[in-house]
Amino acid sequence: MTDEYTRSFLREELERDRRHERRLLWKALFALAVVTVLLVVRAVFFL
């Protein structure tokens, strides 16, 4: 019973970490958005 509980807990933990990794997409998009803003500022005011 305890062993089964542990396995189920570990499986949930694994699944949670796997889901967290999907947030990388949004994080990369945010970084890209900041860079895009910089490029727009450059294009508008400095070129």
Partner 1 sequence: MSGDWLETGRSVLEWFLVVLVGTGVIPIISTLTLFVAIPFHAFRNHYREAAPYMPRVAVVIPAWNEGVVIGATIDRLIAMDYPDWALRVYVVDDASTDQTPDVVRERAARYPGRVFHLRREQGGQGKAHTINHGLGVILQDEWMQALLITDADVIFLPDSLRKMTRHLADPKIGAVSAYIREGSPKKNYLMRFIGIEYVLAQAASRRAQNVFGAQACLAGGAQLHSRENLMDLGGRIDTSSLAEDTVMTFETQLAGREVVFDPYAIVLAEEPGSVTALWKQRLRWARGNVQVTSRYSRVWFHPRRAHDLGGFVFGLSWFSIMLLPAIMIASSIGLLGLFFLGSNLAVIAFEGLWGLATVTYFYSIILSLQLDGMIARQAWLEALLFPGILSILVMITAFFPGLFEVMLPQLIGVHATQAFVTGWTIFAYSWIALSMFFAWLVKLIDGTRAGRVLSPLLTYIIGYGPILCAVTIDSYIKQARHAEARWDKTEKVGRVTA
Contact residues: partner 1, CB under 8 A:
6-7, 10-11, 13-15, 17-18, 20-25, 27-32, 34-35, 38-39, 41-42, 45-47
Q: How far apart are CB 23 and partner 1 at their closest, in Å? A: 8
Residue spans of alpha helices (H) in 1-47: 2-45
Q: How far apart are CB 27 and partner 1 at their closest, in Å? A: 4
Kindly report the number of other CB atoms within 10 A of residue 9's CB atom. Answer: 10
Question: Which residue matches tokens 């189920």?
Answer: 8
Q: How far apart are CB 28 and partner 1 at their closest, in Å? A: 4
Cα–Cα distance measured from residue 12 to residue 2, given in angstroms and rounded to the nearest whole number: 15
